[in-house]
């Protein structure tokens, strides 16, 4: 069996239809590829099929959506994150941790967030892309808790993709966050 070259991947913890359109546009704008089949609320694709699609994608980084559809428990999106983060044939550049209103979740620390104004900030944001209070240190979302137990190089927080009271119109905020991961990763991706 021929060994596959590692593909550069960025995971996005949102996959509803609005997020899918935003991620597809963001992929075009950063010169990457979006795995549209990874969209869904919740994620429905299985890891082997997703890994095959990642390797078949032309261009990098490959943007992959994962979504738990609001569940507090480990859902299909978090299971995909676990499998992709430990897959030897993938170079995980980072994760866009998307905030949601899901209650009673652990949340995940971020190296930075992109707020609803497109500004890079040092702390987390809420679902609307508004910076959290100084004592609030984690992005809380339905598909992020598993990141605490994995070695993910870069986690950037962001509000709900394509929403944030229309602040992510044309995917500008999402593109800014993806470019931040690419820059911090020192990637050869655009």
Residue 47 belongs to some domain of the structure: yes
Residue 175 belongs to some domain of the structure: yes
Residue 1 belongs to some domain of the structure: no
Residue 190 belongs to some domain of the structure: no
Residue 2 belongs to some domain of the structure: no
Distance CA 37, CA 40 (A): 8
Burial of 33 (0-12, 13-18, 19+ CB in 10 A): buried
Residue 38 belongs to some domain of the structure: yes
Give the total number of structural domains in the chain: 1
Distance CA 129, CA 143 (A): 17
What residues make up the domain containing 116?
7-185
Give yes or no for a contact between 99 and 131, defined as CB atoms under 8 angstroms apart: no
Contacts of residue 151, defined as CB under 8 A and 6 or more positions apart, other chains included, come to 85
pTM for this entry: 0.93
* Tens-digit pLDDT string for the chain (190 aa): 455 589 999 999 999 999 999 999 999 999 999 999 999 999 999 999 999 999 999 999 999 999 999 888 899 999 999 999 999 999 999 999 999 988 889 999 999 999 999 999 999 999 999 999 988 899 999 999 999 999 999 999 999 987 776 667 789 999 999 999 999 998 545 4
The reported pLDDT for the residue numbered 51 is 98
Distance CA 4, CA 2 (A): 6
Residue 134 belongs to some domain of the structure: yes
Of 64, 57, 62, 55, whose CA–CA distance to 4 is shortest?
55
Residue 138 belongs to some domain of the structure: yes
């Amino acid at each position: 069996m021929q060994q596959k070259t590692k593909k550069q991947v960025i995971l996005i913890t949102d996959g509803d239809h609005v997020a899918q359109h935003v991620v597809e546009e963001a992929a075009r704008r950063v010169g990457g590829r979006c795995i549209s089949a990874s969209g869904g609320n919740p994620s429905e694709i299985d890891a082997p099929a997703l890994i095959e699609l990642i390797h078949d994608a032309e261009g990098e980084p490959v943007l992959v959506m994962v979504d738990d559809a609001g569940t507090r428990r480990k859902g299909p999106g978090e299971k995909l994150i676990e499998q992709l983060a430990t897959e030897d044939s993938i170079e995980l550049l980072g994760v866009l941790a998307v905030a949601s209103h899901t209650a009673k979740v652990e949340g995940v620390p971020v190296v930075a967030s992109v707020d609803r104004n497109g500004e890079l900030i040092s702390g987390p944001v809420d679902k609307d892309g508004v910076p959290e209070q100084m004592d609030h240190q984690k992005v809380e979302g339905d598909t992020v808790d598993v990141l605490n137990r994995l070695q993910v190089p870069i986690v950037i927080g962001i509000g709900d993709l394509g929403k944030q009271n229309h602040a992510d119109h044309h995917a500008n905020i999402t593109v800014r966050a993806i470019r931040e991961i690419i820059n911090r990763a020192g990637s050869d991706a655009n």
